[in-house]
Amino acid sequence: MASGISAVVSRPLPLFGAAAILRVGMLLYGLWQDANSPLKYTDIDYLVFTDAARFTFSSSSAWGAEASPYTRETYRYTPLLAWLMYPTTWSGTFWFSWGKMLFAAADLLAGYLVMLVLQQHLHMPTDRACRFASIWLLNPMVATISTRGSSEGLLGVLVTALLWAVLERRVVLAGALLGFGVHFKIYPFVYAPAVIWWMDVEHMRMAPVASTTPQDRERKAESEAMSDRTLMQKAKGFITTDRVKLTLVSLATFAGLNAAMYMIYGMPFLAHTFLHHVTRIDHRHNFSPYNVLLYMTSVPGATSAAPLRIESIAFLPQLLLSTVLIPLVGAKKDLPTTMLAQTFAFVTFNKVCTSQYFLWYMVFLPLYLPRSSLLHRPATRGVPALALWVAGQALWLQQGYELEFLGHSTFVPGLWAAAQTFFLVNCWILGIIVEDLALPGQ
Amino acid sequence: MRQRITFFHRHEHGIEPTSLKIKGRSISGPDLIAAREHRVTLSLDELPVELQELLRESHELHIRWSPSLSHDTLGPWNSRLPPGLHVFYTPQNDGVVDTGRLCAMLQTAFGEIDCSTTTESFTKLPNDRFSHSTAFQYFHTLDSLSPLSNYISQHACASDDSKCKSWAKELTKAASFDFSYDTISHVVKTTAVWPEGRQTLSIDSYPDHRTEVGILTPDAPARLESYELGVAGLLTVLGEDTKPSPVLFAFPARHKDADASFSSKFLKPLGLHPTLQLQFPTSKPPIDDAYCSLHAYLTLPRTIFADKYQLDDELFLASKNLTALRYISQPVDLEAPDYAMKLWGSSVLLELQPPKKESNQPWTAEIPLHLRYLSPAQGGYRSISVPWPAVFWACTAEDGTKFPSNPFDRINLGYDGLFGPRTLFWHVDPKPEAGGSLIHKVPVPVLDLDKSAWISMGTAAVVLTGFMFVVWKLLSVYLRTGYSSQTSKKEAEKKKQ
């Protein structure tokens, strides 16, 4: 039995076959449950996407307005997502499930990219790479979220593709993916400083394909001269063609997509995709440590008594860690682990946090775990980390259940304390990930 | 000014026509066990100045009030509304920016009401379906008409007019109060109905104003249609008639009593997504030979709402004994907390699905609702008021049936505009437990202010601890290995050697 499982997860074809079968099975089960039970398997968000697609492609909108995905209330995504959902507007259950198939396929593609990075850049033999990729590919949480129709799988592809493109030194592709990712879900902007910091002449010189071009020699000479230069020279040396290229391509992609969407959909596009995140008050209970505080301070006139409005500077620790300190210390040592730590910090310190956000960092786990102390010191690191991560959520969910379903006022101390506990657990795990950055290179 | 006073009594409570004394402009007689309607029709210049100003800006204004204590209906006054204050309004010009005159007037007349301007606090009604509904709607739970009674006796009645003042005082016991104005008729009609009970029969009329007094009882002539109401009785125009004239007539009535009841309760535990359960002792429609469907009309204050997307799935609806969401006012914000909103709330029309078999089995329908976050409070809970819905069978009358306005017709009730002109409403009586109110009090969990003084500092301390811990880890990595890659460092060391 154990050897059977090991055989499945050690070779690419059975692994991807199993991952695909898992998703097809869950998708079919979901269709059955939706058709036979008043409790739906399909995520509310999926109905938002498909409604938005219908509004986008309806020839004449019922409201007499322009066809726009934002006609659907609570659609807060780029119109590109609604475009991707176009086939769901065709009749029949098969086409209605198109989006879920797309998200599930995105899972597999992200898994494939993880495999590529493991094999080509972390120089891992195929069987071992397969076993680590299976953490993502055969993860029931990942498969459930995608087959229920949540779009996080697409993010998984975008960020793994970005990582792969960077490690392959495909600067233009990386820039385009970065710009697209930020347009799609904003948060991938945290990867920009890490990628740019990583792209020094040394890293760019160590091209994936061994070859010595005149350009490489030039870069090598540049890097050798580096060590003895002044700060001013160093700053000048920081600005390389590749870095400029990445910056320009990503900005152009981001701005170009936004301009195009603004031209088609106007102000509602800006309002729902971007400005909403500025004005939202996030008062509903969620995993974020700021949650109860934000509920309290969102009430008009409630803040005057507070000596310090810490919620208004909540972005500081979050952005300091995820866009400055972690990339600065880690990017050059280990880009995948740095991106994991950045995402982990971004999610942990965010003003709003739901379990879908956990997928954002999970996609990096197969790249980090092989050399992590979580795996090498399971008794003191790995097992307690997993147990505490799960227990922190369980504690919060129990309090949330009492509030949401039993109507008990558990905001304080229960829900607040649970969120703080979960936050501190996450900080401890983040500390381990950061510490592992100092491990000898691969 | 014109007045019309109508008593409606059961057969067994009839009085002898000879016992009525008509003298000049007054009528008196023995006490009656009856329901009573008092309609006063006024021209604009008979109204308080601020009301005149408001109405000159209005195209239509209809106010309906229904009490929170249940009462039986009798005679032609069968229509039901959720308890509270309902306002239907169309401004004179669409373009005019509302300065809050209507809200201010409502606050003056009805007491503390959460209303700022029509644009902010009112919901827009659909104007594409039937032309007879107004442009805006507003609702507020309002237990008592005492503020209105005070306002009328102080500002509308002349200081020496004791008849007007006693009428105003009686309003506090009314079972319904309607106020209607439109620019076409250019008059204001106020109609108050008092439930069945002992009524004193002693009416003096004002000189030069027409006052009509009717004493009616149900009557069923041979060829009465199911949508008609037949009445018999005595009519007297004070000052003109010396004796009451007997009348016998029938008129089409859109609102009828279905002779059935329902009760409403929230399922426990309530949570943040409470379910309103409507219980029916029977699923039998009021008439057999017409197409009838059972509806519930809800006016939900903004603290609680229905999610139209949730009420879109047939399986889900069927599991709750619902057929479809027929109407929901727009917009309904699905995310905003109560304290970030100014809109009064939302009105909802749901078609219910009684069990298929025409059995007399009791059954229930369940309406899933959602609570908004409310502002924090001491003790951790706030109570909100949710009115019982109005429940009725909507039956389609035969082709060609006309509903010319009958003398007791009541229109602009919120739901009537959502149905076609040939619809008959058979009202199902709300039956709370003895002495019970038609308003649910729902406890909503909120942040406990007593325990939240340290939230700000506590959160800051925890976040800072977590942040400093991670920074310390980063610093220790930096101090041991710098920021450059391990391999290049090793290479550099090798080079030095």
The DSSP line for A121-160 is IS---HHHHHHHHHHHHT-HHHHHHHHTT-THHHHHHHHH
Domain co-membership, B260 together with B321:
yes
Write out the two tokens for B196.
């069945």
The whole-angstrom separation of Cα A253 and Cα A173 is 11
Q: Is B243 inside a domain boundary? A: yes
Q: Are A265 and A79 in contact (CB under 8 A)?
A: yes
ipTM: 0.89
CB contact under 8 A, A333 and B484: yes
Domain co-membership, B395 together with B445:
yes
Look at chain B and report how many structural domains it folds into: 3
- Give the sheet arrangement for strand B210-218, strand by strand: B123-124, B136-140, B84-91, B58-66, B176-182, B187-199, B32-43, B2-8, B210-218, B228-237, B245-252
Q: Are B304 and B369 in contact (CB under 8 A)?
A: yes
Tell which wins on pLDDT, B74 or A140. A140
Domain co-membership, B217 together with B312:
no
Which domain-ending residue is among B221, B252, B283? B252
Among residues of chain B, what percentage have pLDDT more than 90? Answer: 46
In sequence order, the 6+-apart residues with CB closer than 8 A to the CB of A411 are A285, A292, A295, A403, B380, B445, B446, B447, B448, B452
Window 37-76 of A, Cβ < 8 Å to B = 37-38, 40, 44, 47, 51, 73-74
- From chain A, the residues in CB contact with B467 under 8 A are 317, 320-321, 349, 427
- From chain B, the residues in CB contact with A403 under 8 A are 271-272, 445
Write out the two tokens for B92.
């004179």
pLDDT-derived band at A307, boundaries 50, 70, 90: low
Q: Which residue has the tokens 């176009």?
A: A86
What average pLDDT is seen over chain B?
88
Domain co-membership, B98 together with B130:
yes
Please list, residue by residue across A112-150, b when 16 or more beta carbons sit within 10 angstroms of its beta carbon and e when fewer do: bbbbbbbbebbebeeeebbbbbbbbbbbeebbbbbbbbb
Nearest by CB: B269 against A333, A406, A430: A406
At A91 the pLDDT is 86
Render pLDDT for A78-133 as a digit per residue (tens, 0 to 9). 999 999 999 998 888 889 999 999 999 999 999 999 999 999 988 999 999 999 99
Nearest by CB: B466 against A37, A281, A424: A424
Render pLDDT for A155-202 as a digit per residue (tens, 0 to 9). 999 999 999 999 988 999 999 999 999 999 999 999 999 999 888 877
Q: Is B281 inside a domain boundary? A: yes
Q: How far is B415 from chain A (nearest CA, A)?
A: 22
Domain co-membership, B135 together with B200:
yes
Domain co-membership, B297 together with B425:
yes
CB contact under 8 A, A302 and B469: no
Q: Is B454 inside a domain boundary? A: no
Window 268-327 of A, Cβ < 8 Å to B = 281, 283-284, 289-290, 292-293, 295-300, 302, 306-308, 310, 314, 317, 320-321, 325-326
In sequence order, the 6+-apart residues with CB closer than 8 A to the CB of B295 are B326, B349, B350, B351, B352, B391, B392, B393, B394, B415
Domain hosting residue B392, numbered range: 256-449
Q: How far is A200 from chain B (nearest CA, A)?
A: 10
Which domain-ending residue is among B220, B252, B284? B252
CB atoms within 10 A of CB B380: 21
At B179 the pLDDT is 95
Task: Give the helix/strand (H/E) hosting B136.
Answer: strand B136-140
Nearest by CB: B462 against A74, A332, A423: A423
CB atoms within 10 A of CB A32: 11
Helix (H, G, I), strand (E, B) or coil at B145: coil
Render pLDDT for A15-56 as a digit per residue (tens, 0 to 9). 999 999 999 999 999 999 988 888 889 988 899 999 899 888
Q: What angle do CA B280, B285, B291 make, to 5 degrees?
A: 140
**For an interface test with B, which of A37, A43, A73 has the most B Cβ atoms less than 10 Å from its Cβ?**
A73
CB contact under 8 A, A409 and B272: no
Q: What is the mean pLDDT of residues B188-213?
A: 89
CB contact under 8 A, B339 and A299: yes
Nearest by CB: A283 against B373, B380, B474: B373
The whole-angstrom separation of Cα A337 and Cα A13 is 27
Tell which wins on pLDDT, B490 or B439. B439
At A233 the pLDDT is 76
- From chain B, the residues in CB contact with A202 under 8 A are 485, 488
Q: Which of A189, A171, A193, A170 is nearest to A180 (CA)?
A: A189
Which domain-ending residue is among B252, B273, B305? B252
Give, as one character, the DSSP assignment of residue A275.
I
Domain co-membership, B248 together with B267:
no
Q: What is the mean pLDDT of residues B104-128?
A: 88
Domain co-membership, B230 together with B295:
no
Domain co-membership, B58 together with B195:
yes
Nearest by CB: A420 against B272, B462, B474: B462
CB contact under 8 A, A428 and B381: no
Q: Is B305 inside a domain boundary? A: yes
At A284 the pLDDT is 85
At B250 the pLDDT is 84
Whether residue B455 lies within 8 A of chain A, CB to CB, comes out as yes
How many cross-chain Cβ pairs, A to B, lie less than 8 Å apart? Answer: 184
Domain co-membership, B245 together with B323:
no
Residue B180 clears pLDDT 90, i.e. is over it: yes
At A187 the pLDDT is 92
Helix (H, G, I), strand (E, B) or coil at A60: coil
Nearest by CB: A332 against B331, B452, B483: B483
Render pLDDT for A191-231 as a digit per residue (tens, 0 to 9). 999 999 888 877 787 655 444 455 554 555 455 455 556 77
At B487 the pLDDT is 55
Render pLDDT for B4-18 as a digit per residue (tens, 0 to 9). 999 999 988 888 888
Domain co-membership, B23 together with B120:
yes
The whole-angstrom separation of Cα A270 and Cα A259 is 10
CB contact under 8 A, B445 and A317: no
CB contact under 8 A, B272 and A317: no
Give, as one character, the DSSP assignment of residue B249.
E
Q: CA dist B407 to A25, B70, B214, B238, B357, Å?
A: 66, 25, 12, 19, 38
CB contact under 8 A, B474 and A408: no
Whether residue B339 lies within 8 A of chain A, CB to CB, comes out as yes
Q: Which residue has the tokens 């280990």?
A: A334
Render pLDDT for B262-316 as a digit per residue (tens, 0 to 9). 999 999 899 999 999 999 998 888 888 778 899 999 999 999 999 998 898 888 9
Write out the two tokens for B385.
């008021």
Q: Is B455 inside a domain boundary? A: no
At B492 the pLDDT is 47
Render pLDDT for A354-390 as a digit per residue (tens, 0 to 9). 888 999 999 999 999 998 999 889 899 999 999 999 9
At A348 the pLDDT is 96
Nearest by CB: A289 against B373, B456, B462: B462
Question: Where does B144-185 have alpha helices with state H?
Answer: 146-151, 162-170
Domain co-membership, B485 together with B363:
no
Can you give the pTM of this predicted structure?
A: 0.87
Render pLDDT for A138-160 as a digit per residue (tens, 0 to 9). 999 999 999 999 988 899 999 99
Q: Which residue has the tokens 């152009």?
A: A252
Render pLDDT for B129-156 as a digit per residue (tens, 0 to 9). 555 678 899 999 998 999 999 999 998 8
